[in-house]
Amino acid sequence: MSTENEGTAVPPAPSAPPVPVESPAASPQATAPEAPTTQLPPVPPGAPEPEPAHPDQAPAYASAGAPDAPQGAGLGPEAAAWPPPPPPTVPSYMDGGSGSGGGATGAGAPWGATYDQQPPKPKSGRGGLIAAVLVAALVAGGAGGGIGYTLAKDNDDSTTSTTVSAAQQTGGDLKRDAGTVAGVAAKALPSTVTIEAESSSGEGGTGTGFVFDTQGHIVTNNHVVADAVDGGKVTATFPDGKKYDAEVVGHAQGYDVAVIKLKNAPSDLQPLTLGDSDKVAVGDSTIAIGAPFGLSNTVTTGIISAKNRPVASSDGSASSKASYMSALQTDASINPGNSGGPLLDAAGNVIGINSAIQSSSSGGLSTGQSGSIGLGFAIPINQAKYVAQQLIKTGKPVYAKIGASVALTEGTGGAQISQKTADTTDPVESGGPAAAAGLKPGDVITKLDDHVIDSGPTLIGEIWTHKPGDKVQITYERDGKSKTVELTLGSREGDS
């Protein structure tokens, strides 16, 4: 799945993974533009079920500056009232301040050149949630024109008004225990920051991050800070209003994880406690903290809706490289600006990094923004912790790989090893893990350990939950027969 950018072609991604409280503070500057976002077109009442989304169509960063997605397919017979009347004219305060960018747009050839880069298929219908790998949009930008505070003006012709007042009553003191949402929020908020990232040309957006250690390292999403990587500017603001300049220590586009470090970090930093995302269960309570649409220090709640959800995301630009995750799905409200913020369990432990949402149309507003529909996705903290530690140590990400190129198309019933690659390299790397295990071009991988693999992107996301050197069981089909082999994952360093 991918989050907030709908309707944009997803650049091909490697099919086989490459190697590898005191008072609230002021929100980030209202002028900071949000990261670009595109949304999935709405499905009108009675419309046919959405077609599976193509894996090569990735989500874009959620921001106010992205164009609206095209409207979708035809209506069913029961939708007699369609089409609805046109939406009202967009108020000037809604379309006058949208930001310009904020997505992670990498230059150069997509990483994973060994992967089978196939051209996107023409759509036969609207992409939808029934796809094995959902196309969602990243929730990066927050402040700017997308905020659209609603202004009300009294145009009532009536000359009379009535004011109803109630007698004030005072109640007893309310004690908020540590295990309540209020208690968890009070403890976690001081360790979260609102991040503003700006490129050398002035483009950027707003996101969120959280304190990772006492040395001043802050963990966030790659797409939150991508604009500031080359000569840009990054700042982090705590809920008490204290603002610090920061620098990008390392970033991993494939994982969509980045680490920044505060300059002149305070000595009293309190890192958030990291939980164990492998032990999370569907139905567990969740608490998300972020800066949706620039509204810093916002707390929302929900549950874990699903685990191991395949999500592919990108900012939708031609040069963008996709990110893959086997995500935690939550119905906690997540919106543009929540990206990089912590997803907490009921005890206040970080179990994930909020990264993407599946979104409906913005309802015709010209800002291209959309909000939460209860389908949010977070990078499991066990994976993010490993990546963050690598970035702090070397500044570069390390990816696990199987050493084979797989097709990114759907409908194969698994991840099929390519017969050939676009750059004429061997689909199965000579001497690599797949070759050592006896895998050949045309083999269809259907399981990795006990996880069902239904497409190339699903395989990538699942492999990237592991570390190089891990031993995994690969089940594949060849000539109608199924076989299982053990494979030791290789590694590659860097995104390029």
Residue positions annotated with a catalytic role: 223, 256, 339
Which residue has tokens 């369990």? 345
Tell me how crowded residue 122 is: count the other CB atoms within 10 A of its CB: 6
Nearest 5°: the CA angle 428, 432, 436 is: 90
Between CA 135 and CA 129 the distance in angstroms is 8
Between CA 433 and CA 428 the distance in angstroms is 9
Between CA 229 and CA 247 the distance in angstroms is 8
Amino acid at 35: A
Residues contacting residue 196 through CB under 8 Å, at least 6 positions apart = 28, 29, 32, 143, 204, 205, 206, 234, 235, 237
Contact predicate 160/24, CB 8 Å = no
Between CA 408 and CA 399 the distance in angstroms is 18
Q: Is the dihedral of CA 223, 224, 229, 230 positive or negative?
A: positive
- Could you give the 3-state DSSP secondary structure of residue 246? strand
Give bridge partners of residue 479 from the DSSP assignment.
none
State both tokens at 263: 């300059």
Amino acid at 384: A
CA distances from 230 to 33, 75, 107, 247 (A): 18, 47, 12, 11
Helix (H) or strand (E) holding 436: helix 433-436
E strands present in 45-164: 51-52, 127-128, 134-135, 137-138
State both tokens at 271: 């890192």
Give bridge partners of residue 482 from the DSSP assignment.
477
Amino acid at 249: V
Amino acid at 56: D
Between CA 305 and CA 330 the distance in angstroms is 5
What secondary structure letter does DSSP report for 25?
P
Which residue has tokens 């209202």? 30
Between CA 193 and CA 244 the distance in angstroms is 10
State both tokens at 251: 């970033």
Alpha carbon distance, N-terminus to C-terminus of the chain: 23
Helix (H) or strand (E) holding 185: helix 181-188
